[in-house]
Amino acid sequence: MSTFYDKIRNKEIAPIGLGTWNMGDDLRKQDDEIQALRHGLDLGISIIDTAEMYGNGRSEKVVGEAIKGRREEVYLVSKVLPSNANFDGTIRACERSLSFLQTDYLDLYLLHWQGRYPFQETIDAMEELKNQQKIKAWGVSNMDVSEMQEILGSTSGSSCETNQVLYNLSRRGIEYDLKPFHDQQKIVTMAYSPIEQGRILTNKTLQGIADKHQVSAAQIALAWVLSHQNVVPIPKSASANRVEENFNSLKIELDQEDVEKLDLAFPPPTRKVSLEMI
């Protein structure tokens, strides 16, 4: 089972997050989205993941409403767009996100993907934000091994805490070299889209294992991600019922037979593949 240590609060927290992609896009759903996030906090989920790109700030505003009065319960993650990731742009983007989120600091701030600005310039801005206490830590997203090597080789690059990437049963390419690299460097792998936006849930093998454990196929898919050390899945969680279902996947223990069946249905990589993104 994966674990996640919150260095800020000096304690281990649930190794699963609340994703917020598309939240805030439909005003009719906003109350339910806020309630879903609050229910996650009630259950003991601390990690909430958002980004300035999500709804052009609308998702951050939903999160800001959800965490009012509960900021110390939250490990709050947001991301800067590559188009904003020069030194001054990163500072401004972070300050804008803090305004939308109604808080004065982020626990983790990520570069969303590689853009035209040099990594060093973005890293310098991240370090300045740390100095200003506007962020506690920084990381990246959608980076492959070569990008990670460049980042870690930059001045202050060793401060990179996380790489958030696409990872689920049907997208296992990172297991070939990126995930081992993360583990070697003690970098957390955050896994977005851990159930492939639901597309894998009709797989008969997955459904069979779900029936065996008397849970949903989505819970088995999440339990599989959670079975890997140093991985934190970030499923989107727009309803309280789904949040609870996701949280309960932490209690599922897959046996060796389950793992072998899933490996046959969703084979691990046998060669290097380009990093996938959605």
pLDDT digits (tens, 9 = 90+) for 230-254: 999 999 988 999 999 999 999 999 9
Phi, psi of 39 (to 5 degrees): -65, -40
Average model confidence (pLDDT) across the chain: 97
What value does the mean pLDDT take over residues 132-149? 99
* 112 annotated binding-site participant: yes
| Architecture of the 4-265 domain | Alpha-Beta Barrel (3.20)
* DSSP single-letter state for residue 115: -
Structure tokens at 8: 């800020």
- The residue-averaged pLDDT of 144-153 equals 98
Per the CB < 8 A criterion, the answer to whether 16 and 246 are in contact is: yes
Q: Say what the pLDDT of residue 219 is.
A: 98
C-beta of residue 178 within 8 angstroms of C-beta of residue 273: no
Give the CA radius of gyration of the chain.
Answer: 18
Instruction: Give tens-digit pLDDT for 171-211.
Output: 999 999 999 999 999 999 999 999 999 999 999 999 999 99
Which amino acids are annotated catalytic?
54
Amino acid at 241: N
- Asked whether the beta carbons of 49 and 234 are under 8 A apart, the reply is yes
Q: How far apart are CA 160 and CA 141, in angstroms?
A: 11
pLDDT single digits (tens) 48-102? 999 999 999 999 999 999 999 999 999 999 999 999 999 999 999 999 999 999 9
Q: Cα(39)–Cα(30) distance, rounded to whole angstroms? A: 14
Q: Cβ-count burial of 256 within 10 angstroms (0-12 exposed, 13-18 middle, 19+ buried)?
A: exposed
Label residue 1 by pLDDT band (50, 70, 90).
low
